[in-house]
Amino acid sequence: MSQAKLIAILGVTAALVAAAFPIYMYIQDQRTKNVGGYQDQVAATCRQAREVLTRDRTGEVTEFRMNARGVTQPTDLLIIRKAALLSVMRENLGSVRQYFADLNSRDVPDSLYQKHRAAVAAQQAWVTARQRAISTVSRRVRDRDPLSKLVQLSVTIGAGTSSADVRLNSAMTTLAGQNCKITA
């Protein structure tokens, strides 16, 4: 091969590399933006879910006991409206499930795929734990029981949901790349 052909080939190769480099950088920049945008959506999902779960709805699910005879603790002054309590619990779970579904329907950047899979597994475990909690309340709380009974039962329920809470918060924080605590 002549020296002129070699120089021509090197010149064409250099021109192709020079033309391809900005395209490569643009693709890398878009991937970074996609990751950041997706992580912003994860964080927004966490905020929405936390807002639903931490909203004080005590007034909707309890009423004040007019007859205070036999009351030994302040939580006995409030009685549970079981149907309202179960409705709020189901509504909260339904809202959070929808937030998860909306997030999980989005395209996941390749670099976050494994973290997303872990988050989805944690979401499913959390939903299952919450469904069990609703079932426990349904079985063990009677309408007009004192709030103290629910407080006592929350220890049992908490034992069943706390590990799912921790796992969910951890997985969502990892996926978001920032603090993404959903549960208290």
pLDDT at residue 169, as a whole number: 97
- If 0-12 CB within 10 Å is exposed, 13-18 middle and 19+ buried, where does residue 30 land? exposed
Prediction pTM value = 0.80
pLDDT at residue 27, as a whole number: 47
| Residue 183 is assigned to a structural domain of this protein | no
Give percent of the chain above pLDDT 70: 82
- C-alpha–C-alpha distance, residues 43 and 39, integer Å: 6
Mean pLDDT within 124-147 = 95
| Residue 64 is assigned to a structural domain of this protein | yes
Domain extent at residue 81:
36-176
- Four-residue CA torsion sign, 118, 120, 121, 122: positive
- Four-residue CA torsion sign, 63, 65, 70, 74: positive
- C-alpha–C-alpha distance, residues 40 and 37, integer Å: 5
Total domains in the fold of the chain: 1
pLDDT at residue 26, as a whole number: 44
| Residue 25 is assigned to a structural domain of this protein | no
| Residue 155 is assigned to a structural domain of this protein | yes
In the predicted structure, residue 166 carries a pLDDT above the cut 90: yes
- C-alpha–C-alpha distance, residues 45 and 101, integer Å: 10
| Residue 182 is assigned to a structural domain of this protein | no
- Count of beta carbons in the 10 Å neighbourhood of residue 165: 20
In the predicted structure, residue 47 carries a pLDDT above the cut 70: yes
pLDDT digits (tens, 9 = 90+) for 5-29: 666 666 666 665 566 555 544 444 4
Q: Both tokens of residue 99? A: 């937030």
Give percent of the chain above pLDDT 90: 65
pLDDT at residue 180, as a whole number: 94
- Four-residue CA torsion sign, 81, 85, 91, 92: positive
| Residue 68 is assigned to a structural domain of this protein | yes
pLDDT at residue 110, as a whole number: 94
Element (H, E) at 139: helix 113-140
In the predicted structure, residue 181 carries a pLDDT above the cut 90: yes
| Residue 77 is assigned to a structural domain of this protein | yes
pLDDT digits (tens, 9 = 90+) for 138-148: 999 999 999 98
Mean pLDDT within 175-182 = 96
**146, 65 Cβ separation under 8 angstroms:** yes
Smallest Cα–Cα separation from 173: which of 121, 129, 119? 119
pLDDT at residue 30, as a whole number: 47
| Residue 165 is assigned to a structural domain of this protein | yes
